[in-house]
Amino acid sequence: MRVLIAPDAFGSTLGPVQVATAMAEGWALGAPHDEVRLLPLSGGGPGFLDVVARACGGEMVATTVSDPLGREVPATLLLVDEPGRRTAYVEAAQAIGLHLLAADERDPGITSTWGVGQLLEAALAEGVDRVVVGVGGGATNDGGAGMLAALGAGPADLLARGGLALGAADESALIGLPGVLDRLSGTEVVLATDDETPLLGLSGTSAVGAPGKGATPETSQALESALGHFTDVVGRAVPRPLDLLSGQPRRLDRELGAGAAGGLGYALLVLGARPVPAVTEVLRLTGFDVAAAGSDLVVTATDRLDWTSVRGSVVSGVAEATAATGRPAVVVAGELLVGRRETMTMGLAGCYALADHPAEVDAMLADPVGTLRARARRVARTWSPAR
């Protein structure tokens, strides 16, 4: 049997390539007679650059940026020369990833996206025509204000002190934003994310995302207010772009992906970024359709399969694309938090959890590679019994 292993990262614990390798090792133990191909995938979060580099080649350029608390960390960007243009791929999580902070350092009220702005500056210095920013897995909730400050939109002491400080921002905070827009006018910016969260509201980034980054309910409410004020400041600094169909001003804060990485998506939209589903872009770059059509079974994986995974995730993208080829797709999940009805609706032929209760979660975290390898071995025996 020909098996295609096409997983996402396991949060910040294992990258997509590491997950795919562990699963392939387990599959070889359970079904050594199978032909296994690895095709790691990404939804724009940790591992995005590794996946794109594996698919497209290109040149990795090393740099140094600030982490969410302003400490220097190593980072890279990927340069890919294509006919007629040069593209830089940027992984925002290298600068603002939750994995960069210890558990007791996580506070989305004070973390900043300044390092993402530094990554964009590094890309622009390479003379690129296009910048694709993979956004996911962030520890910030500053509406992308820190990134804008790093690009020259305004003073760092007003914009780069975290989301809570934005409540005191005035019109002078974004005095340089028109100049930033002029500087970027000749560069195509692409926002690649699987996060469809809007910026504000009950389903916005402060309400939905901030608690997982260490925010208390009171902090989440304060961040909601501060980001609302920040959008007003942005609206006074630059005119809202017009919708090409209706001719009416666009509400960027309400657009899908505006709330990605605590509002980093919103700031990229302000800069004129074109939003694309990261999964769709990665599936295209990796040639997933052809690989799936040439396989008998597709196996994907994620650390957590819940209601947010039903659409706009690596798992949902793999399931949909595989269904179009007529092949079955199954998923191995660290935690499986949806029922059979939801997974069947997604088009999955089977779901296998690494952890069914809290004790197993602890064991999984202690040895994620070994746990993945063991589960893949059992799944292989189910789908490809010994001859």
- Residues 295-308 pLDDT 10s: 999 999 998 888 77
Residue 72: φ, ψ to 5°? -75, 135
The interaxial angle of helices 314-323 and 278-286, nearest 10 deg, is: 50
Q: Would you state the pLDDT for residue 292?
A: 96
Side-chain half-sphere of 27: how many Cα atoms within 13 Å?
25
Per-residue pLDDT reduced to its tens digit, 4-27: 999 999 877 789 999 999 999 999
Residues of the chain above pLDDT 70, percent: 97
Q: Are 74 and 64 in contact (CB under 8 A)?
A: yes
With a CB cutoff of 8 Å and minimum separation 6, the contacts of 55 are 282, 285, 286, 287
Residue 82, judged by CB atoms within 10 A of its CB (0-12, 13-18, 19+), counts as exposed
Mean pLDDT value of segment 365-387: 87
Per-residue pLDDT reduced to its tens digit, 133-172: 999 889 999 999 999 999 999 999 999 999 999 999 998 9
The residue type found at 132 is V
Q: Are 330 and 349 in contact (CB under 8 A)?
A: yes
Domains and CATH numbers, the chain: 2-40+287-383 (3.40.50.10350), 48-279 (3.90.1510.10)
Per-residue pLDDT reduced to its tens digit, 240-264: 887 777 778 889 999 989 999 999 9
Q: Are 260 and 200 in contact (CB under 8 A)?
A: no
With a CB cutoff of 8 Å and minimum separation 6, the contacts of 155 are 149, 172, 173
Query: How many Cβ atoms from other residues are within 10 Å of residue 279's Cβ?
Result: 27
Per-residue pLDDT reduced to its tens digit, 193-243: 988 899 999 999 999 999 999 999 999 999 999 999 999 999 999 988 877
Q: What is the mean pLDDT of the chain?
A: 92
Question: Three-state DSSP class for 332?
Answer: strand
Residue 290 token pair: 């052809």
When pLDDT is cut at 50, 70 and 90, the band that residue 60 belongs to is very high
Per-residue pLDDT reduced to its tens digit, 79-130: 999 888 999 999 999 999 999 999 999 999 999 999 999 999 999 999 999 9
Q: Would you state the pLDDT for residue 89?
A: 98
State pTM to two decimals. Answer: 0.92
